Structure 1
C-alpha cells in the first residue's frame, strides 16, 4: 500500500484496534483503504478524485457536477463570477458621465447619482426572486435569459433621450443582471466539495467586489476618448452578448442532479448501488427540463423566506459587519473619488477612472490571500482539533480585514486633507488599496462562514439574504456620504466611517466567533 493509501486509510479506515508496539499503544486500522473502498463501492470515486474523504460523496456518473473535469468547473465558475461582477459594474459604469448628464438634461449632480443608487436597490432584492425560479427551471436558463435581456436593455439605454427613459432602462438592467448575486454561491456548492469552497467562493466574491472600481476605471477612458456617454452602454451590451454565447457552450446545468445517498467508511449510511451513465456532454447543453417539481404557487413565499435569516444570529451579525465594510470602503470610494479627488486635483473623466487602479490592486491581492488562505487556515485548525471542524474556526482569518479597512479609510481621508490642491498625489489611493484589501478578506471569510454555519436545507437562502443586506446599506450610503464629508471634513468623516466599518464590524464578527457555536447548537433567534 502506498504512503497516500496509508494516510487515507488512517482518515477513513474501518474499525480501529489498539496494538502495542515498542512499549507504546498506537491506533492501527483493522482494514486497508482498498478493502474499505471495495466494501462501500467507492472504487470509481477513488480512481477519479484520488481520495474518498469527500463531503459530499459524489455518484459514479461522470456528469455529476462534482465529477466534472476541473477545466469545466473553473470555466463555469469564472463565467458566473464575471456575471456577478457585471451587476455592480453596470451600476457604477455611468459615474464618469455624471457631468455630461447634468449638462444634457439640466439635472443636479445628486440626481445624476441616482443612476447608480437606484439600480443598487434592485440588485439587492431581485435575487430573492431569481433564486426560487432557478430552483424550478435550473440555473442555466436563468443565466441565458439574464445575459440576452441585459444586452437588450443596455442597447436600449444607449438610445434614451430623457432622464426618465434612461432611469427606466437602468432599473431593468439591474433586474436582469442580478441572478448571479443569489445563485452564484449556490452553484459553487453544487460543483465543489467542502474543502474547496473557500477558495472558489473567494473567486466569486472577488469579481463582485471588483465591479464598482473596475467600471469607472474602464468607462472613464472610454467616455473621455469617444466623447459619447452612449459607448458605456454599447460596451456593456456587447459583453452581455458574448456571455450569452459562452453560456450556450460552456455552462452545463448544475442543479437537479439526482445523486443517490451512499455509504462511506466509518459511517452508518446505506450502501448505494450507483451505475455510471453515458450521457453525452452536448445533451447537457441543449436539453432543458424542470429540475424540481415544486409548484409555482409557492414562489411568493420562497421569495421572502430568505429574509427569515434575520432571525439567525450567525448569519445576521456577520452580514451586517460585511455590509458596513462594503458600504464604507467600496461604495464610499466609488462614489466619493470622483467628487473628492476630482474636485481637489482637477481631474478629467479619464484621470478619475485611473484613480480606481488602487482599488483593483487591493481587491486582487486581498483575494490571493483570502481565498486559498482561509481554506488552509481551516485545514490547519481542523487538524489541531483532531478532525472536529466547526464553521467558527474560519472567522479569525477575517478579523484582520476589519483593521485593514479601518487603516485604509483613515489613510484616504488624512492624506486627502494634507495633500496640496491642484497637484495629484498617490497617497490617498494607497489608502484605497489597503481598505479594499481588507474588504476582500472580510468578504471571502464572511460568505464562506455564513453558508457553512447553516444546515444544507437552509444554505440556499443565505447568499440572497447577504446580498440584500449589503445592497440595502450600499443604496443608503450615497445619500449621506457627501454631506458627511462636507460637514465634518475629510479627516473627521473618514474617522467616523472607519470606526463604524472597522470597529463595529470587528465587534460583530468577534461576537459571532465567541458565541456562534452556542447560537447554532441552541437555535437562538434574534
Structure 2
C-alpha cells in the first residue's frame, strides 16, 4: 500500500488486472467509457419501447372497446416482459457473446414496436398486449447484461457511478417513452407513439454495431482467450454474427449452470432480504407510476383531475427532475461514501454492506413521505402541484435505491453479475406489474388515502431489511445455495492518509484516477 504525493488516500485496483492488453480492465478509459455510453443508450432505448403507450389510454380504450384500467393491462404486460424476459435471454450471452445478444435484442424490440403500431383494429387488443409483452421481453436485456460488462470493464471503486449511469438511463427511458409518445400522439392517431421509437431503436442498433465490443475475458486461464480479428469488418462479424469466435470455449454444462444461477441466487437469504426491500420500495413507485395517468385523466367527479393527454405528458417532468437529481447524487456519493466508510471503519478493508448506507435519506425518509403525501392529495383532492411534489419525492426515494441494490447484490455474487441483476430486476418489477389488477378493489375497501398511507408504512418497515444487512450482512452472505456466493469482502481497498475522498488507484506503480 502506498500514497501519492500530498498524502492523498489510495485505492487498490480490485480485481487485479492480468498483464494482457486484451484484458478489458487494461483498456484505455476512452474505450471503456465509449462502451458504457452505448450500454446506457441501449438501456434507455430498450426501456422507451415497452411503455410508449402508457399515457394514451383514452384512444386505445375506444378502439379496443376496453376501460382505461383494462387498457393499462398492456403496461402490466410490458412490465412482465421486462421482469422475466432476461431469465430466458441472458444465458444466451454466455454462449453467443454479450454484445451480440444486446444487438439482436434491440432488433427484436424494433420489430415489436412496428407490431404494436399496426394493431389498429377493434379485434387486435390481445395482439397489441402481446406486442408490449415481447417489447419488454427484449427491451430489458441491455440493462441486465450491462452489469456483467461493467464488472468486466471497471474496478470495484469505479462501479458505483457506472451502475448509477446504467440504471438511471434505463429508468429515464421508462419515463421518456410515455412522455415523448404522449406529446407526439396528442391530437393524432395513436400508432405514431410507436413509430417514432422505431427510428431511435434503429439508430441505437447501428451504434451498437459500430462501437460495442465483446468484454468476456478469462483471467484465471489466459490461454483460453481468443484474439479478436485485427480487421475492423472481420471484428464486427465475429462480434455480432452468432458464434463463439471471441469467447473462451466452454461446454454446454456451463451454460446450463449459468441458466440455473438466477434461481439459485434468488433463493439465497441475502437476495431474499434485499429482494423484499426492493419489491416494496421500488414496487410502490412502479405501481404509482403505472396508475398516475388513470388518476390524472379521470374526471373530477370520479376523483381525478380531468387532464388531457398533453397535460399528462407535461406532468411527467416531475419524474424527469427527480431522476436527474438521483443521477447527480449517485455520481457523487455511490462510490465516495462506501470508500469513506471503508477507510473510517475498517482501515480500508472492504465490505459490500458499506454501499447500503447511501439509502438512509432516500429510502427511509423521502419515499414514505412522498407515498403518504400522494395518498393525502388524492383523498382530499388537493392541487395537482401537491401531487407532483409527492411523485417527485417518491421518484427520488425509490430510484435512488435501484443502482445501489443491484450493485450490492452483484458484489455478493461476483461470478454471476448478470444473473444477480436479473433477480433484482424481477423483484423490482413484479409487484408493480400486478397492482393495476387489484388497485380498484383495494381503494374501494379502505379508501385511496389509506391505500397509499399503508404503502408509506410498508416502505418504512421494508427498510428494516436494509438495516439487517448493514448489521449482519457478512454473516447472511455465508448462507448460500450451491456455492454461488462470492464477494470481494476483505480486500485492502483504501489506503491511509488525509485528502480526497475519492483518492487514486494504484497498480504496478501507475496512478489511475478514481
Q: Same fold (TM over 0.5)?
A: yes
Give me the whole-angstrom Cα distance separating, in 1, the residues matched to 2:102 and 2:315.
32
Aligned to 1:333: 288
Aligned to 1:450: 409
Residue of structure 2 aligned with 1:488, choices 433, 446, 455: 446
Aligned to 1:505: 462
CA deviations on 1:362-393 (whole Å, 9 max, x unpaired) are 12202211243021111111111112111112
Give me the whole-angstrom Cα distance separating, in 1, the residues matched to 2:415 and 2:37.
26
Give me the whole-angstrom Cα distance separating, in 2, the residues matched to 1:190 and 1:365.
28
Report the CA distance shift for 1:95/1:364 in structure 2 as closer, same or farther (over 3 A): same
Question: So what's the TM-score if we normalise by structure 1?
Answer: 0.81
Aligned to 2:267: 311
CA contact (8 A) 2:45 2:200 kept: no
Give me the whole-angstrom Cα distance separating, in 2, the residues matched to 1:394 and 1:524.
23
Give me the whole-angstrom Cα distance separating, in 2, the residues matched to 1:511 and 1:253.
38
Give me the whole-angstrom Cα distance separating, in 1, the residues matched to 2:125 and 2:317.
30
Give me the whole-angstrom Cα distance separating, in 2, the residues matched to 1:516 and 1:87.
33
Q: CA deviation at 1:58?
A: 2.3
CA contact (8 A) 1:253 1:284 kept: no
Residue of structure 2 aligned with 1:178, choices 117, 135, 140: 140
Give me the whole-angstrom Cα distance separating, in 2, the residues matched to 1:80 and 1:520.
29
CA deviations on 1:170-220 (whole Å, 9 max, x unpaired) are 233222223123211111111111100011001112122223332222111
Aligned to 1:365: 325
CA contact (8 A) 2:68 2:294 kept: no
Report the CA distance shift for 1:492/1:3 in structure 2 as closer, same or farther (over 3 A): closer
SS at match of 2:186: helix
Counterpart check, 1:115 vs 2:74: yes
Report the CA distance shift for 1:212/1:3 in structure 2 as closer, same or farther (over 3 A): closer
CA contact (8 A) 1:371 1:444 kept: no
Q: CA deviation at 1:254?
A: 1.3
SS at match of 1:345: coil
CA contact (8 A) 2:20 2:26 kept: yes
Counterpart check, 1:379 vs 2:339: yes
Q: CA deviation at 1:260?
A: 5.6
Give me the whole-angstrom Cα distance separating, in 2, the residues matched to 1:376 and 1:368.
13
Give me the whole-angstrom Cα distance separating, in 1, the residues matched to 2:5 and 2:231.
33
CA contact (8 A) 1:153 1:169 kept: yes
Aligned to 1:233: 194
Aligned to 2:280: 324
Report the CA distance shift for 1:277/1:92 in structure 2 as closer, same or farther (over 3 A): closer
Give me the whole-angstrom Cα distance separating, in 1, the residues matched to 2:20 and 2:229.
8
SS at match of 1:95: coil
SS at match of 1:387: coil
Give me the whole-angstrom Cα distance separating, in 2, the residues matched to 1:61 and 1:249.
24
Aligned to 1:16: none
Aligned to 1:394: 355
- C-alpha root-mean-square deviation of aligned residues, in Å? 2.8
CA contact (8 A) 2:89 2:141 kept: yes
Give me the whole-angstrom Cα distance separating, in 2, the residues matched to 1:313 and 1:185.
21
Residue of structure 2 aligned with 1:479, choices 437, 449, 452: 437
SS at match of 2:49: helix
Q: CA deviation at 1:394?
A: 1.7
Q: CA deviation at 1:85?
A: 3.5
Aligned to 1:27: none
Provide structure 1 residue ranges, at least 5 long, that are not aligned to the other structure.
12-50, 263-271
Give me the whole-angstrom Cα distance separating, in 2, the residues matched to 1:184 and 1:114.
28
Report the CA distance shift for 1:322/1:61 in structure 2 as closer, same or farther (over 3 A): same
Q: CA deviation at 1:485?
A: 3.2
Q: CA deviation at 1:398?
A: 1.1
Considering fraction of residues, name the structure with more helix.
1
Report the CA distance shift for 1:451/1:426 in structure 2 as closer, same or farther (over 3 A): same
When Rg is computed on C-alpha atoms for both structures, the one with the higher figure is: 1
Give me the whole-angstrom Cα distance separating, in 2, the residues matched to 1:278 and 1:302.
27
Give me the whole-angstrom Cα distance separating, in 2, the residues matched to 1:214 and 1:480.
26
Aligned to 2:314: 354
Give me the whole-angstrom Cα distance separating, in 2, the residues matched to 1:482 and 1:71.
51
Give me the whole-angstrom Cα distance separating, in 1, the residues matched to 2:377 and 2:210.
49
SS at match of 1:253: coil
CA contact (8 A) 2:79 2:429 kept: yes
CA contact (8 A) 2:367 2:456 kept: yes
CA contact (8 A) 1:251 1:285 kept: no
Provide structure 2 residue ranges, at least 5 long, that are not aligned to the other structure.
299-303, 483-514
Give me the whole-angstrom Cα distance separating, in 2, the residues matched to 1:292 and 1:412.
52
